[in-house]
Amino acid sequence: MKEFVISQESSEKAVLVGLVTPQQPEQKAMEYLAELAFLADTAGAETVNMFVQKLDYPNPRTFVGKGKLDEIKKYVEENEIGLVIFDDDLTSKQVQNIERELQVKILDRTSLILDIFARRAQTASAKTQVELAQYQYLLPRLTRLWTHLERQRGGIGMRGPGETQIETDRRIILNKISLLKQELIAIDKQKSVQRKNRGKLTRVALVGYTNVGKSTIMNLLSKSDVFAENKLFATLDTTVRKIAIDNLPILLTDTVGFIRKLPTHLVNSFKSTLDEVREADVLVHVVDISHPNFEEQIEVVDKTLREVCQGADKPMLMVFNKIDAFTYTPKDENDLTPRTRENVSLQELKDSWMARLNDDCVFISAKKGININELKQKIYEKARKIHTERFPYNDFLFQHYDELGETVDEPAKPKDGDAD
């Protein structure tokens, strides 16, 4: 490896590599690379350049063509780059070939996400889940690092099947995976007991794409101090808080965000998050409306939720967050070109989504505190409906009365101080 390959994240410079294929047009490829740059920034790397090549399919040997690889090599040497990140998963052979050519550290999208996961994990549960995901990622990518454990030689008294070094590594990793799965079973049992002890409370889970503001909303509603940061995967542990909106106690859960091109085994590793989503009574789908591709992010989350909940039809509230950061370009009256996403105003988006979702949505800014009362009211209405169906006899914290002292069904709209 070159001398400028350094391990300190603060000064690590990286270049990104992506492909434009018939299945992935140029616009989408650039979106993926922009997201990859955000991932690299979260991991502590500084993105200095991006390389894109048009191919019918990835080169099975080096992912990109030989000419593009030579161009990347020249740039890496001239600018003392220590890290090259590819936007898709690489095979072990591809990593070997690219490292031999470039002589720098090579990462793909999944290994970068795993590095962020390992950095963010705090609890024993999250650390175990991340370690399991890392071993499952490593297993099919084992390569021979040394040759002194080649198949054992035969001879008089020495004959036997022997074991190659790669077989030894595979056996060790499989044993480790088995051990980690047993640890997770014990952790799941503990979490299952915790969920059963939550009693007669309606469960509301915050779900959504990564970095859309779920933890900020959690802090706002529960007045807690869940870690929130403008980085991808700031949350890796499920956090549950008991809150009260008006006269109804609710359990609010903050979950791990989803992302595009997230491998299935990575999603399955976070079983505790998936269990919280499966057992939730109401899902609050948080969306970053200021993101130019928020609709595609909605599709990614919806697809993952369908797989996680196994088709269960749970009540859902769409929360469009970050309206304070939303921008658009008004279209000139004399401009005859077709309108694009950049020309759509926030009011038009509101009208469109409210009509589509039958008003099961709310537009807020958690950072600025805009429309938070409306959010509380929407959550209250959905949770109250489930609560009254499940517990038809009076089980609220208190009752609402009219001027004559009669009990009323309709509660007052929640106030700012309703969350505990």
Model pLDDT, residue 226: 60
The verdict on 144 and 96 lying in the same domain is: no
pLDDT digit string, tens, across residues 122-180: 777 778 888 888 888 888 777 655 544 454 555 555 555 555 677 778 888 889 989 98
The verdict on 270 and 398 lying in the same domain is: yes
Model pLDDT, residue 403: 54
pLDDT digit string, tens, across residues 338-377: 777 777 888 888 888 888 887 788 999 988 888 899 999 9
The verdict on 190 and 291 lying in the same domain is: no
Tokens encoding 67: 């000419």
pLDDT digit string, tens, across residues 328-344: 877 777 777 777 777 78
State which residues form the domain around 236.
199-408
Residue 417 has pLDDT above 50, yes or no: no
pLDDT digit string, tens, across residues 256-303: 777 877 766 676 666 666 777 888 888 999 999 988 888 888 988 888
Residue 1 has pLDDT above 50, yes or no: no
Model pLDDT, residue 384: 87
Q: Is residue 385 part of a domain?
A: yes
Residue 231 and residue 120 in contact, taking contact as beta carbons nearer than 8 Å: no
Model pLDDT, residue 50: 92
The verdict on 211 and 307 lying in the same domain is: yes
Long-range contacts of 5-8 (CB under 8 A, 24+ apart): 5/82, 5/83, 5/104, 5/105, 6/82
Residue 42 has pLDDT above 70, yes or no: yes
Is residue 318 packed enough to be buried (19+ CB in 10 Å), middle (13-18) or exposed (0-12)? buried
The verdict on 185 and 318 lying in the same domain is: no
More confident residue, 313 or 254: 254
* Of 245-249, 251-255, 335-339, 359-363, minimum mean pLDDT range: 335-339
The DSSP letter of residue 343 is: G
Q: Is residue 308 part of a domain?
A: yes
* Local structure of 341: helix, strand or coil: helix
**Cβ neighbours of residue 308 closer than 8 Å, sequence gap 6 or more:** 267, 274, 277, 278
The verdict on 319 and 357 lying in the same domain is: yes
What distance lies between CA 308 and its chain's CA centroid? 14
CATH code of the domain in which 211 resides: 3.40.50.300
Model pLDDT, residue 129: 81
Q: Percentage of the chain surpassing pLDDT 70?
A: 76
Q: Is residue 154 part of a domain?
A: no
d(CA 395, CA 323): 36
The verdict on 126 and 260 lying in the same domain is: no
The verdict on 224 and 258 lying in the same domain is: yes
- Range of 115-124, 196-205, 223-232, 247-256 with top mean pLDDT: 247-256
12-20/45-54 β-pairing: parallel
Model pLDDT, residue 420: 41
Instruction: For residue 359, give Cα distances in angstroms to 227, 286, 294, 374, 392.
Output: 31, 15, 19, 12, 26
d(CA 11, CA 22): 36
Q: Is residue 416 part of a domain?
A: no
Model pLDDT, residue 218: 87
Residue 9 has pLDDT above 60, yes or no: no
Read off the pLDDT of each residue in 35-54 and give the average, rounded to a whole number.
Answer: 88
Q: Please give the model's pTM, rounded to 2 decimal places.
A: 0.76
Q: Is residue 419 part of a domain?
A: no
Please count the structural domains in the chain. 3
* Of 5-19, 171-185, 220-234, 399-413, minimum mean pLDDT range: 399-413
The verdict on 300 and 314 lying in the same domain is: yes
The verdict on 317 and 204 lying in the same domain is: yes
Q: What is the mean pLDDT of the chain?
A: 79
Q: Is residue 354 part of a domain?
A: yes
Is residue 21 packed enough to be buried (19+ CB in 10 Å), middle (13-18) or exposed (0-12)? middle
Q: Is residue 371 part of a domain?
A: yes
The verdict on 24 and 69 lying in the same domain is: yes
d(CA 396, CA 399): 7
The verdict on 283 and 376 lying in the same domain is: yes
Q: Is residue 72 part of a domain?
A: yes
CATH code of the domain in which 110 resides: 3.40.50.11060
